[in-house]
């Protein structure tokens, strides 16, 4: 096991057993201490990011258990004394800062610690207190607010100041829904660096919605009887095996990772068959989740929250509970992260892993012999849940016995609403309770897939139905074939779904050939999707131009991690996917990355209030020529089948 050298301040201690293991709490504290020591960062410094600086692929693939490896951390800090943002790489192995640079003209995420610091500042502001009184609220302690980003609409202060525009909610009694009673048109504009309320935008007074929006069990008039007990047990134990962050399950193996921005990450997914351990995906993660709103009233036109780039999805992770979030034979992974002050925080049960029965995998009945062969499907589920303000998101990865990989996002929580006038019929939303307008919006999830199908030398084909017009070659109008188009260059790598043609994309390895003569591959099969609703040239489309296309393909670059760019807070638009493909890099027989965006249009309905039943979106990666035949033929028949 690799070790760092001892220093006067820190004793010798063992590092993680693998180069991709997330940083432990002890390592996080050590990284922060090195930064404070070597870069003279004091108590006023905010630590936006302290995470593993992932080694290059050669180091990871060449690692042998027990071998030495460099252990490094990547950090992003805001020195509030100078209003400067810095990026650095810290070596735990060498006990020093390896690199340190000032990143000009950017803002880090707005951190929870900053919002805590301004609570009393805002609630004691005389203009804010007067605005509450205009609305009949005498006690500021019955108000909560959340720090919404300002976006960027060209104002000078958005370029030069570090801002937040908190939205306020009236919580009359403890336990009331904290998002059910918005206080409309009362927005303090706060400079977070100066800790100063620049102004309070106090506009039209609208009624505070009267319904407290109770959803807790104790607040319901009556409850149904509890559901009949459904016990999921595995008397023989689960089929997965866990060693640290490494997981094996049937023929699958992979590693579990986590970052403060992305949350759950899967590394080095591979499938073992007669040919050995065969890589499929090197790294899979959510790249961005952005939620733009359609409302034009008040300042709601500003609302398009980047839940990774502006909030940090990982730091919003839930600790999961057996029987509630996960059922069955569960393995949990804990997570350690540094908070904004650089203190290590432990998150127990942040990631849940378990197996699920998934119905019939394959079946055929021989009616003449009156016999039937059936195999049941089972999937491995790796999941985590995040609460970002009013919304709760579940991020689920599924591995299947037939070699497929699934991604699913589950959306629940509380609708984001504004107050409505007594006689108002909202144009861009729906009334879900008296004076409560649930605004129309979308959710766009972008997933980054660093592919490695039988190795890194991959190519991407766009595959769709090839329709043949009725004529001499198709006299009965029934002919339709398959059209495959090789995506050769990034200039042609912004693609869109075509449901009417069944379009999908296939990643292949042309250096290998299967028994049938084709190349091993995996196809990305899209699910339901929508196109962007915001107009070209709008502030949202400038900041999130990646949503203009469903799929982007890029040549691998370790610096290109997030679809909208690295620093989206208050940015007019960072260099991101549309900029990267301008390099027109080769995409044939090389290391390629797929960036797939799923859009979901949410037109609220009464049944979404006061808490929303889960909505789903996702996609599937399916083997396509990766195997010579059904890889699940060797499954044993189900026990007691037919008895």
Distance, CA of 286 to chain centre: 4
Neighbours of 558 (CB within 10 A): 10
Catalytic residue among 293, 391, 562, 567: 391
Q: How many CA atoms lie within 13 A of 411 on its CB side?
A: 22
Catalytic residue among 21, 176, 299, 307: 307
Helix (H, G, I), strand (E, B) or coil at 622: strand
Phi–psi pair at 158, nearest 5 degrees: -70, -25
- By the 8 A CB rule, do 24 and 336 touch? yes
- By the 8 A CB rule, do 306 and 150 touch? no
Among 523, 521, 488, smallest CA distance to 505 is for 523
Kind and range of the H or E run holding 304: strand 304-306
Per the structure block, which two tokens stand in for 127? 């203009």
Q: Is 555 left (phi over 0), alpha (psi -120 to 50) or beta?
A: beta
Q: Is 315 exposed, middle or buried (0-12, 13-18, 19+ CB in 10 A)?
A: buried
- By the 8 A CB rule, do 149 and 158 touch? no
- By the 8 A CB rule, do 506 and 461 touch? yes
307 tagged catalytic: yes
| DSSP H helical ranges for 390-494 | none
Per the structure block, which two tokens stand in for 427? 């144009």
Q: Is the peptide bond before 610 cis (omega within 30 degrees of 0)?
A: yes
Helix (H, G, I), strand (E, B) or coil at 59: helix
282 tagged catalytic: no
Per the structure block, which two tokens stand in for 98? 């390896």
3-state secondary structure 345-392: EEEEEEEEEEEEEEEEEEEEEECCCCEEEEEEEEEEEEEEEEEECCEE
Convert 390-406 to b/e letters by CB count within 10 Å (16 or more is b): bbbbbbbbbbbbbbbbb
Name the residues annotated as catalytic. Answer: 307, 391
């Amino acid at each position: 096991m690799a070790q760092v050298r001892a220093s006067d301040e820190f004793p010798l201690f063992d590092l993680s057993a693998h180069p991709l293991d997330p940083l432990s709490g002890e390592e996080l504290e050590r990284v922060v201490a090195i930064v404070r020591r070597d870069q003279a960062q004091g108590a006023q410094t905010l630590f936006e990011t302290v995470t593993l600086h992932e080694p290059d692929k050669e180091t990871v693939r060449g690692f042998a258990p027990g071998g030495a490896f460099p252990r490094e951390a990547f950090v992003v800090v805001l020195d509030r004394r100078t209003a400067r943002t810095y990026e650095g790489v810290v070596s735990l192995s060498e006990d020093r800062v390896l690199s340190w640079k000032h990143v000009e003209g950017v803002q880090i995420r707005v951190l929870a610690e900053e919002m805590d610091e301004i609570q009393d500042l805002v609630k004691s502001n005389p203009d804010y207190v007067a605005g509450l009184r205009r609305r009949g609220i005498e006690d500021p302690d019955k108000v909560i607010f959340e720090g919404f980003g300002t976006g960027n609409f060209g104002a000078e202060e958005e370029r030069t100041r570090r801002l937040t525009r908190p939205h306020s909610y009236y919580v009359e009694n403890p336990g009331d829904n904290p998002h059910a009673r918005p206080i409309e048109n009362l927005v303090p504009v706060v400079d977070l660096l100066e800790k100063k309320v620049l102004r309070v935008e106090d506009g039209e007074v609208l009624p505070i919605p009267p319904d407290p929006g109770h959803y807790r069990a104790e607040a319901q008039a009556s409850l149904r009887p509890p559901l009949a007990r459904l016990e999921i047990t595995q008397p023989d134990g689960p089929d997965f095996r866990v060693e640290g962050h490494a997981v094996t399950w049937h023929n699958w193996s992979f590693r579990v990772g986590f970052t403060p921005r992305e949350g759950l990450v899967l590394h080095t997914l591979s499938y073992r068959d007669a040919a050995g351990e065969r890589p499929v995906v090197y790294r899979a993660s959510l790249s961005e989740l952005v939620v733009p709103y359609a409302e034009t009233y008040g300042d709601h036109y500003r609302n398009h929250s980047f839940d990774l780039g502006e909030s940090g999805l990982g730091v919003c992770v839930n600790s999961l509970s057996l029987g509630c979030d996960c059922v069955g034979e569960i393995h949990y992974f804990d997570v350690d992260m540094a908070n904004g002050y650089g203190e290590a925080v432990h998150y127990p049960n942040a990631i849940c892993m378990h197996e699920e029965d998934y119905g019939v995998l394959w079946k055929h009945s021989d009616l003449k012999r009156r016999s039937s062969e059936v195999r049941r499907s089972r999937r491995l589920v790796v999941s985590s849940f995040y609460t970002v303000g009013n919304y709760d998101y579940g991020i689920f990865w599924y591995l299947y016995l037939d070699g497929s990989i699934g991604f699913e996002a589950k959306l629940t929580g509380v609708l984001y609403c504004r107050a409505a006038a007594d006689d108002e019929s909202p144009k861009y939303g729906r009334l879900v309770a008296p004076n409560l307008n649930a605004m129309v919006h979308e959710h766009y999830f972008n997933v980054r897939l660093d592919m490695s199908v039988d190795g890194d030398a991959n190519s991407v084909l766009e595959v769709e139905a090839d329709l043949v017009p009725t004529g001499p070659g198709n006299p009965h109008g029934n002919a339709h074939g398959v059209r495959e188009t090789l995506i050769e260059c990034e200039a042609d790598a912004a693609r869109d779904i075509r449901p009417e043609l069944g379009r999908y994309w296939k990643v292949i390895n042309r250096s290998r050939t299967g028994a049938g003569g084709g190349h091993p591959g995996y196809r990305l099969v899209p699910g339901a999707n929508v196109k962007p609703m915001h107009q070209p040239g709008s502030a949202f489309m400038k900041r999130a131009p990646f949503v203009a296309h469903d799929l982007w393909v890029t040549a691998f670059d370790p610096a290109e991690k997030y679809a909208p760019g690295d620093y989206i807070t208050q940015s007019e638009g960072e260099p991101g996917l549309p900029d990267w493909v301008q390099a027109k890099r080769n995409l044939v027989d090389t290391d390629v990355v797929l960036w797939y965006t799923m859009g979901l249009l949410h037109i609220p309905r009464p049944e979404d209030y006061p808490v929303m039943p889960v909505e789903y979106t996702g996609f599937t990666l399916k083997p396509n020529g990766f195997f010579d035949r059904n890889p699940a033929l060797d499954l044993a028949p189900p026990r007691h089948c037919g008895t």
